[in-house]
């Protein structure tokens, strides 16, 4: 069994920054995954942290130890799990009903990332870990705290053609679902990246709509906005948020021209509504490389980039991905490069 040896808890204040939905700004009307988020003064702080109080450490019997940072996470956010011990061969954990495999960072050191689904209720949630050494298998469990996060609701009145797709449109939507599913079907593996993620438009790109916003169309709750809408004009260059492999370049009904990039370790980024593709499926891309041009293809009210992020099956807040410090110390970057 895992035994918790320390776990500092901070008090999360009630104060939450409310993000504004820019009225009249270009937005996505729907998509498999679109969102807006308010939120997170403290949580973002927490997600940024690597050391200090927001760390959960525990130890297995037989010399295996696990570290989780941060110890408090909000819906849409990610966390990092490190497992250390002699003879470690493989490990994975389950959290909120989703599996998250670990990869080998260095000999005797496995790492993985986990995510909190947008609909997850606050409270203490078990993280169930399984590890295999050369000679035996072990299981352990520790608790992570999911903090409350409020999502704003936005009300839109749109033409009926946007809310009631025709038969042909429905067929296209089914084809899109298949294309996305295939795009996301890839083993977690090791990260393809060795540094933090960047904003695909510009570091100071204006946000039209955040992650998690509940969208009410014509008085009916129809979707959540599961990404980040970044403002701009048609033709604005869109860059890969990190190193990776293009898994899909597809013309979707709702998403428009969309590029999906797999970054390894279960992480994906998506670039929606492009006017032009600059990459092809299967192509390797470097962080900052052009993947396409901003546009207004798909179901949108005007040109913008819908930027999405996923960890395994869980859609996460792109802002949480951008603010997460994947490499809090240089030694770990060196370790990662050495393992490639």
Strand order in the sheet with 123-133: 72-73, 137-146, 123-133, 88-95, 98-101
Fill in the DSSP letter of residue 300.
B
Q: Name which of 97, 152, 143 is nearest 123 in CA terms.
A: 143
Q: Which of 203, 75, 205, 93 is nearest to 139 (CA)?
A: 93
Which of 208/332 has CB closer to Zn ion? 208
From the CB of 34, what's the least distance to Zn ion, in Å?
4
User: In terms of DSSP H, where are the helices of the chain?
Assistant: 42-48, 160-163, 167-184, 318-323, 330-339
Q: Shortest distance, CB of residue 207 to Zn ion, whole angstroms?
A: 10
Provide the minimum distance between the beta carbon of 305 and Zn ion in the complex, in angstroms, as a whole number. Answer: 8
Q: Which is nearer to Zn ion, 30 or 332 (CB)?
A: 30
| Residue of this chain nearest to Zn ion (CB atom) | 28
Closest approach of Cβ 226 to Zn ion, in Å?
A: 8
Residues in a beta bridge with 217 = 156, 220
Q: Specify the residue, 111 or 250, whose C-beta has the smaller distance to Zn ion.
A: 250
- Order across the sheet with 276-277: list the strands: 237-239, 290-293, 276-277
- CB of residue 227 vs Zn ion: minimum separation in angstroms? 5
CB of 31 to Zn ion, least distance (A): 6
Give every CB contact of residue 170 below 8 A, 6+ residues apart in sequence. Answer: none
Our CB check for Zn ion shows the closer of 229 and 317 to be: 229
The binding site for Zn ion (CB under 5 A) comprises 28, 34, 227, 229, 306
Give the nearest distance from C-beta 118 to Zn ion in angstroms: 14
Nearer to Zn ion, 193 or 271 (CB): 271
| First-last CA distance in the chain | 32
- Please identify, using beta-carbon distances, which residue of 28 and 146 lies nearer to Zn ion: 28
Distance separating alpha carbons of residues 114 and 101, to the nearest angstrom: 9
**Residue 147 beta carbon to Zn ion: minimum distance, rounded to whole angstroms:** 25
Closer of 30 and 71 to Zn ion (Cβ): 30
Nearest CA-CA partner of 152 in 318, 19, 315, 42: 19
Task: Work out how close the CB of 304 gets to Zn ion at its nearest, in angstroms, rounded to a whole number.
Answer: 7
Distance of alpha carbon 27 from alpha carbon 126, whole angstroms: 37
CA separation for the pair 254, 226 (Å, rounded): 13
273: left (phi over 0), alpha (psi -120 to 50) or beta: left
Q: Which is nearer to Zn ion, 42 or 229 (CB)?
A: 229
Nearer to Zn ion, 70 or 227 (CB): 227
The residue assigned the tokens 């973002």 is 44
């Amino acid at each position: 069994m895992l035994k918790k040896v320390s776990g500092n808890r901070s008090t999360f204040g009630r104060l939450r920054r409310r993000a504004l939905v820019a009225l009249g700004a270009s937005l996505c009307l729907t998509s498999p995954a679109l969102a807006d988020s308010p939120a997170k003064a403290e949580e973002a702080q927490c997600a940024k942290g690597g050391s200090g109080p927001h760390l959960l450490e525990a130890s297995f019997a037989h010399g295996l130890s696990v570290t989780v940072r941060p110890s408090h996470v909000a819906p849409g956010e990610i966390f990092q799990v490190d497992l250390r011990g002699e003879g470690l061969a493989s490990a994975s954990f389950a959290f909120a009903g989703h599996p998250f495999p670990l990869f080998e960072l260095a000999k005797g050191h496995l790492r993985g990332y986990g995510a909190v689904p947008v609909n997850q209720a606050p409270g203490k949630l078990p993280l169930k870990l399984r590890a295999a050494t050369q000679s035996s298998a072990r299981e352990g469990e520790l608790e992570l705290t999911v903090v409350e996060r409020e999502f704003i609701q936005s009300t839109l009145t749109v033409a009926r053609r946007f809310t009631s797709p025709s038969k042909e449109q429905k067929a296209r939507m089914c084809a899109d679902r298949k294309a996305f599913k295939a795009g996301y079907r890839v083993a977690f593996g090791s990260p393809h990246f060795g540094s933090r993620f960047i904003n695909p438009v510009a570091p100071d790109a204006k946000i039209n709509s955040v992650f998690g916003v509940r969208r009410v169309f014509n008085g009916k709750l129809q979707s959540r906005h599961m990404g980040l809408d970044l403002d701009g004009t048609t033709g604005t260059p869109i860059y890969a948020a990190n190193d990776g492999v293009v898994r899909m370049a597809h013309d979707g009904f709702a998403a428009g021209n969309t590029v999906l990039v797999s970054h390894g370790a279960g992480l994906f980024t998506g670039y929606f509504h492009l006017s032009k593709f600059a990459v092809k499926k299967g192509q390797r891309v470097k962080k900052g490389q052009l993947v396409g041009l901003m546009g207004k293809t798909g179901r949108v009210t005007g040109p913008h980039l819908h930027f999405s992020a996923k960890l395994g099956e869980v859609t996460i807040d792109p802002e949480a991905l951008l603010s997460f410090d994947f490499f809090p110390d240089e030694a770990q970057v060196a370790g990662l490069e050495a393992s490639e």
